[in-house]
Amino acid sequence: MTSIARRRPLLATALITALGLTALAAVPPVHAAGAYPEKPIRLVVPFPAGGPTDAMARLIGQRLSQQLSQPVVIDNRGGAGGTIATEAAAAATPDGYTLFFSTTGTMAINPSLYRTMKVDPLRAFDAVGSVAATENVLVVPPSLGVGNLQELIALARRKPGSLTFGSAGNGSSNHLSGELFKSMAGIDIVHVPYKGSSAAFTDLLGGRISMMFDTVSSQVQYLNAGKVKALGVTGPARSEALPKVPTIAESGLPGFDVTIWFGLSAPKGTPPDALARLNGDLQKVLAQPEVRAQLAQLGARPLPGTPQAFTGLIQRDTAKWSAVIKASGATVD
């Protein structure tokens, strides 16, 4: 065999290799997707800056950014009881980079209260996880002359239609707390809506209304000063801030529960790996002693849990508040 003949297989192999390398060079390089998250995350908050919901969202956002190693940018979208923010967050790209600081109002109350609402929160969002919860407390002026819940109910039954309860407006948590109380106690008390809780409380102190439900954090100082009397907290357990005040449920209305909760949601279709990462880091945040202490200052307690548990909470409260709103006839549009 000649030297040329012996070299032909080698030449053929070299040629095939060269052609293969050329073909590979013509194919654009494929980069492996980076681990989530790779850029800042937007957190849509349904109320203006400066309020208690905004303060809680900023606390959670700041701590989450430390866990995720990415900035969490607060986007306040106030107006229309939170429906503007709800619709904006639901319309965002479901890529894990937009979150919604959801509340009892935006997720479970507004769908029944706002007939023109464009989205169904249960269908428009994926749950990330619950964040925190707080309760209201039923307060009356000392001049009303009742010492406990049963005495208040007895007075309302003796004088149907003569007692009043104030609220921050139609559909507010203190309004619906009153409507649920009215229904479960079987009493006739009259709702007086105000433009905010402060105005309602001023009239309560002046004796112009008989009672109101308000946040525990707002009432502690007035209770300690003896300006109002607490008859019961609305949650399933006593408040750490008011340990001597019984729940309404234990005071004669079993099953009474008005818990105001906050959570994180994401537009429907957000990647499961992003939801899992977010929930895992949220649990770490809620376990931090400093976060628990700051939530307590806001009158709230941490509410850790799975996305499934948060979805169940939203479903149950949606059904409950839908029935209360229908029975009360409350509407805002």
The DSSP line for 41-102 is EEEEESS-TTSHHHHHHHHHHHHHHHHHTS-EEEEE---GGGHHHHHHHHTS-SSSSEEEEE
Amino acid letter, residue 94? P
pLDDT value of residue 285: 98
Yes or no: say if 254 and 131 are a contact pair by the CB < 8 Å rule: no
pLDDT value of residue 33: 53
Average pLDDT over residues 207-226: 94
Q: Is the pLDDT of residue 282 over 50?
A: yes
Amino acid letter, residue 124? A
pLDDT value of residue 330: 85
Yes or no: say if 228 and 141 are a contact pair by the CB < 8 Å rule: yes
pLDDT value of residue 333: 66
Average pLDDT over residues 34-41: 93
- What is the pLDDT confidence band of residue 317, given thresholds at 50, 70 and 90? very high
Residue ranges and CATH numbers for the domains of the chain are 41-134+260-328 (3.40.190.150), 135-233 (3.40.190.10)
For all residues of the chain together, what is the average pLDDT?
90
Residue 47 has a CB neighbour count (10 Å cut-off) of: 21
> What is the distance between the alpha carbons of residues 191 and 65, in angstroms, rounded to a whole number?
43
